[in-house]
Amino acid sequence: MNFFGNLNPIIQALIATIFTWGVTALGSLVVCFFKEVNKKVLNTILGFSAGVMIAASFWSLLAPAIDLSEELKYIVWLLPVIGFSIGGLFVLLSDKYLDKVLKNRKGLENADSLKRSILLISAITIHNIPEGMAVGVAFGGIASGVPGMTLIGAVMLAVGIGIQNFPEGAAVSLPLRNEGFSRFRSFMFGQASALVEPISAIIGVVLVLTIRSILPLLLSFAAGAMIAVAARELLPESVKENKNLATLGLILGFVIMMILDIALG
């Protein structure tokens, strides 16, 4: 951890998002062994990931944004509120648009599989942009000396995103396999959906390091995006099979993140 902490923040964010991409690839690899994955297991994982991301959104992003606003002599709540709202709306509107596009797949019965797969991959890929940026903003904030930002918090944020990327990888590769794609092509399309995360993470780091005056806005934007992802994507999906398992997963994820970020951060 000491070695990792001494690295350039761009390298840190790149390594972290290579990890999140790797977990996506691992999820996509499921297509080589199974036709489907036990939904109770996946939904418990989604609940756990939601707990990690909700906790990280506050302790690793939103609270430091508030502290930095006070340090910069801004109205303490203003930029965090604006950034949080924009981040949440960004995810909400982009997902709503993609949901609308994907519904049109019902009318594509005579289209080729590649066209359908592009729509499916696009939904996951755009969904991954704010996640990668959140990781970049977290590591950039540490390098900028933002009060309350910790290395363990940034790492755990990446871990939380990585965990929930596993079922996303499977969610892309398994349907493609059912549409007649080879295992290899299904895997390649599934893992490619997360390649945008390292790119958006680097953008997040550069923005944080070059424009400190709007850093509270960027931190809270990332927090809003994470909460929106948890509320719109993870939590509704996690409770479909077993609400108790999903709830226990969420509590466990939240508690682990809270302990790591406060006790060890």
- The pLDDT value recorded for residue 108 is 47
Residue 61 belongs to a domain: yes
Judge whether 5 lies within some domain.
no
pLDDT at 113 over 80: no
163 domain-assigned: yes
- The total of structural domains in the chain comes to 1
Residue 2 domain-assigned (yes or no)? no
Residues spanned by the domain of 175: 10-28+37-264
Confidence of residue 122 (pLDDT cuts 50, 70, 90): low
Does residue 179 lie within any of the structural domains?
Answer: yes
Residue 126 has pLDDT above 80, yes or no: no
Q: Please report whether residue 91 resides in a domain.
A: yes
Beta-strand ranges (E) seen in 49-167 are: none
Helices (H), 29-112: 39-56, 63-71, 78-103
Q: What is the identity of the amino acid at 235? A: L
Higher pLDDT, 85 or 213: 85
In a domain, 1, yes or no: no
Residue 213 belongs to some domain of the structure: yes
Any idea which residue has 């490619």 for tokens?
Answer: 192
CA terminus-to-terminus distance, the chain = 12
**Burial environment of residue 197 by CB neighbours within 10 A (0 to 12, 13 to 18, 19 or more):** buried
Is the distance from CB of 163 to CB of 231 less than 8 angstroms? no
pLDDT per residue as tens digits for the range 2-43: 788 889 999 999 999 999 999 999 989 988 887 666 778 777
Mean pLDDT check: name the lowest of 32-46, 71-85, 106-120. Answer: 106-120
110 — pLDDT class (breaks 50, 70, 90): very low
pLDDT of residue 247: 93
